[in-house]
Structure 1
């Protein structure tokens, strides 16, 4: 059943008069005539609106512009979802059914409500999250992707939107009639597919993730003159933890990430050894909660916005000042911060085979989410890797596919994988472990994998396995190339050195640059676990406070 049927009361709570009175100081009174447009999908709305008198209707539009009712709100109800928490474009249309009086609460004041009114704020926040989940179920208010399901661009865009918790619709012209109707309506040639229709009416052809994000209002322009207390580069567990704790303690926070929130943890189908979740939790669910929590406390999450370099030439921090750092983005924008937290994690390692890039995105995958599982449902797949991420992916895929060939270079999983995952893998009849083997060749054409060839590392004997999808979980290299201009000290493997690793008594988690910190997987000597990353994200906030409290001196 849809969430709107199972949790309607929590999605659409009615505030009592005394509760409305408690939050009046956070908003202003506004009036609208019957028929007036209060919010339009694709446009930024004025914020959350509590209905005082009259009624309003919330609707969504599908790809063919047909209107579907979501809810009607009367006195005591409030209009809005997570987009209004972060001042992003509305995903729904809202019209006044009658003459209307509302208490309008702008995004920054809404965050104040959530913090100041704990119990009431919890009910409001839960409703905002559940409404977003409802929109994700229908794709309401999001862009429409028109293209074939196996197209690598379609897979990339669908994955990008899904991992950022943004609704979207996908229409395959081979299976959905209205997709062909839209192709004809916009006079699109087959060779131009896939295309994307944004809620504001724009049409994109083969867009990048960044182009799509700007079209739908996920990211906006950064103020180059604003100086944040802390800029966090990377929105994985460590970066999001820093954002939550720093923002909740009153620091101004900017979080930048090139892809999506959650990092590698967000790719885990189920994390079962994270404290407090005895039945396990998906990485995406855990990271989405952290992402929403950071927004609640007012952190500015600019995703996707990729940092090209960290400029240290003009900083006076080496002399004890707090002039801050400049970050240059790939988009050409710049931003400033008094401190920088490097939480950029690692980049996925790639197989050393000549034609790998020909199959990436369509047949070779670095994530094992429902999107990828749908592509290979009922088939045999191969997965390379022997760590916990590989184990979690193998277990998840085994529930979706005919068979998983788990290819590892070692003689067993014992040295690199948690015991509970090893035991689970051994208990599943459709996972076969191929030890002491490496993939040496990929066969296929037009981006579609047909088979893999693998070699026994002891005997040199080669084998061939006919599969159409290959999953790679072979570790990652530190994502530190963007630090080259700042000359932050790295170890021999490219990880960032901090604290005692630099010199006795050097501040914990601080790099060789005063006011620049490193946490999580990118830090030399870090424990590669979600809990450890979250702990460092919290710990670094204390170090930031200590740094910002240092007396300012001049050279």
Structure 2
């Protein structure tokens, strides 16, 4: 290995919390959970890609963390001095090591495995808070710096590039992005890996494995997201969907001692994870981005022991007990109870070419990723609810103008008053009432739109390349194959909505009536936006996910 070391510049804010030093008393308490290990200069403690990643607290000596790439090592950080400790959020998920850890000065460390760390986090609140805060802040720093074991080569003219970026971001995996359109040196990299322009986007893992135009499941499998998860043991609870309601159920269920597995098809956080800013959620007076809120919930669930499996093609086998949850990979996961938290998605307008422009000018969320396309440009936001209002306000900070298109005559019916006032007072936001888009035009990317006012019938054409659709809600229930009682709009009926005469017809098998949030199959619950009658507010769906756990306990006792 070459001695060519390149130091990674980290921001200096929050350094003391990102790389804190534990006190003598705190180290003494940690010593009871692990064992003393003598380390020697030059020793590799962790290699990039290792499946088993120990946690170290330094009593003496020095450890440097490096990202290897061929003959070049990038220095990420150095741990030295009594009380400093290694590790990040991957300690919670059990994912592979992103970096190499090497001893540069001999000494002694306290070594712990993942299960010992999890026990420490749950049993010692003071140390647990220090470690969790450091783990989260380190993850934020790595994502901001674009440092990890993945290089993504793509183009802003590729919808799939955007989708992979979103997948990696939502799953908290840091990556380096190389833009084909703006990086003059990228051709050398393409030639080195024998990549044709038609293979884009390309994901390069650890400088060795090359994935050409991969789907999300291939990315998850390559990065080892699911490696440590036992998919055959009988679970107390399987939660399908890692949006706010599913993550709330995971936090409360695992913290109360249940063996919880969460299944997510693609993007943890659901619709909320793509929200630019949530300002009316209790406890966040200055607001919080949907990504930050749901990432914290994701980490919190893992802290208490919930496991999260990224998988597609989920179906249920409910003919006997335990229930079986089947995945596209062929895994058959047995479970005593199930919570369905698959949420809803924005209704798609009936427009020719719509699917052609999805990810290439038409978007269903507005996070930092999407905002980068809007700097100095005119954009359109479709919808009159809070999500649309938050998006319009957020994107107006960078866009030239934001055109809000709503089919109704005013905003006040479906939008919080504080958002209505902000939109009315924002000179960069133009409200178009009684209006909807009628055509989308473009070649590889959306280039222009036509909209029509239904009162005047006037049609206008505008050269606008970015449209954000946030109108209406369609439940994610098509995968249920008619096994559950649904309302006329396709949402799952639960609790008191399941009338006695219906239960008699389908043969409800037990004496009691369904619990709140329980579906037409005993022990299977539905919470959040997927449930008929739910209030489409994040605080409400979080409440449903947490309350459902009390009924899960009752079912497990039956």
Corresponding residue number in structure 1 for 2:543: 535
Q: Which of 504, 511, 516 does residue 508 from structure 1 map onto?
A: 516
Corresponding residue number in structure 2 for 1:41: 48
Q: Classify the secondary structure of the residue corresponding to 2:415.
A: coil
Corresponding residue number in structure 1 for 2:371: 373
Q: CA RMSD in A?
A: 1.9
Contact 2:148–2:176, Cα closer than 8 Å, also in 1? no
Deviation of residue 310 (structure 1)? 1.0
| Separation in structure 2 between the aligned mates of residue 333 and residue 291 of structure 1, nearest angstrom | 23
| Separation in structure 1 between the aligned mates of residue 199 and residue 166 of structure 2, nearest angstrom | 20
Corresponding residue number in structure 1 for 2:494: 498
Corresponding residue number in structure 2 for 1:455: 452
| Separation in structure 2 between the aligned mates of residue 450 and residue 174 of structure 1, nearest angstrom | 18
Q: Which of 463, 472, 476 does residue 469 from structure 2 map onto?
A: 472
Cα deviation code 1:155-201 (max 9, x no counterpart): 11111111222211111133224422211211212222221101272
Contact 1:222–1:334, Cα closer than 8 Å, also in 2? no
Corresponding residue number in structure 1 for 2:504: none
Q: Which moved more, 1:69-78 or 1:373-382?
A: 69-78
Deviation of residue 508 (structure 1)? 1.2
Cα deviation code 1:108-132 (max 9, x no counterpart): 2211101111111111111111111
Corresponding residue number in structure 2 for 1:129: 136
| Separation in structure 2 between the aligned mates of residue 229 and residue 392 of structure 1, nearest angstrom | 38
Q: Which of 183, 187, 203 does residue 190 from structure 2 map onto?
A: 183
Poorly superposed stretches of 4+, deviation over 6 Å: none
| Separation in structure 1 between the aligned mates of residue 274 and residue 15 of structure 2, nearest angstrom | 30
| Separation in structure 1 between the aligned mates of residue 347 and residue 186 of structure 2, nearest angstrom | 37
Q: Classify the secondary structure of the residue corresponding to 1:94.
A: strand
Cα deviation code 1:39-91 (max 9, x no counterpart): 23333343211123321111235799552342233332111111122211122
Q: Which of 92, 95, 103 does residue 88 from structure 1 map onto?
A: 95
Q: Classify the secondary structure of the residue corresponding to 1:26.
A: coil
Contact 2:485–2:493, Cα closer than 8 Å, also in 1? yes
| Separation in structure 2 between the aligned mates of residue 494 and residue 221 of structure 1, nearest angstrom | 35
The answer to whether 1:327 aligns with 2:325 is yes
**1:535-554, aligned counterparts within 5 Å?**
535-550=543-558
Structure 1 residues 530 and 272: CA distance shift in structure 2, 3 A: same
Contact 2:79–2:85, Cα closer than 8 Å, also in 1? no
Q: Classify the secondary structure of the residue corresponding to 2:515.
A: coil
Cα deviation code 1:490-529 (max 9, x no counterpart): 1111111111111365311111101000111111111111
Corresponding residue number in structure 1 for 2:5: none
Corresponding residue number in structure 1 for 2:318: 312
Q: State TM-score, norm by structure 2.
A: 0.93
| Separation in structure 1 between the aligned mates of residue 301 and residue 10 of structure 2, nearest angstrom | 24
Q: Which moved more, 1:329-338 or 1:356-365?
A: 329-338
| Separation in structure 1 between the aligned mates of residue 294 and residue 99 of structure 2, nearest angstrom | 25
Contact 2:485–2:492, Cα closer than 8 Å, also in 1? yes
Deviation of residue 438 (structure 1)? 1.6
Q: Which of 158, 169, 175 does residue 162 from structure 1 map onto?
A: 169
Q: Classify the secondary structure of the residue corresponding to 1:454.
A: strand
Corresponding residue number in structure 1 for 2:409: 411
Q: Which moved more, 1:63-72 or 1:359-368?
A: 63-72
Cα deviation code 1:432-482 (max 9, x no counterpart): 111111211111112x11111112223433211110111111122111122
How many residues were matched structurally?
A: 539
Q: State TM-score, norm by structure 1.
A: 0.93
Contact 1:64–1:178, Cα closer than 8 Å, also in 2? no
Structure 2 segments unaligned to the other structure (5+ residues): 1-8, 501-512
Contact 2:94–2:228, Cα closer than 8 Å, also in 1? no
| Separation in structure 1 between the aligned mates of residue 207 and residue 131 of structure 2, nearest angstrom | 28
Contact 2:316–2:326, Cα closer than 8 Å, also in 1? yes
Q: Which moved more, 1:498-507 or 1:330-339?
A: 498-507
| Separation in structure 2 between the aligned mates of residue 238 and residue 415 of structure 1, nearest angstrom | 25
Corresponding residue number in structure 2 for 1:261: 268
Q: Classify the secondary structure of the residue corresponding to 1:79.
A: coil
Q: Classify the secondary structure of the residue corresponding to 1:274.
A: coil
| Separation in structure 2 between the aligned mates of residue 224 and residue 85 of structure 1, nearest angstrom | 18
Deviation of residue 233 (structure 1)? 0.6
Structure 1 residues 216 and 78: CA distance shift in structure 2, 3 A: same
Corresponding residue number in structure 1 for 2:57: 50
Contact 1:442–1:452, Cα closer than 8 Å, also in 2? yes
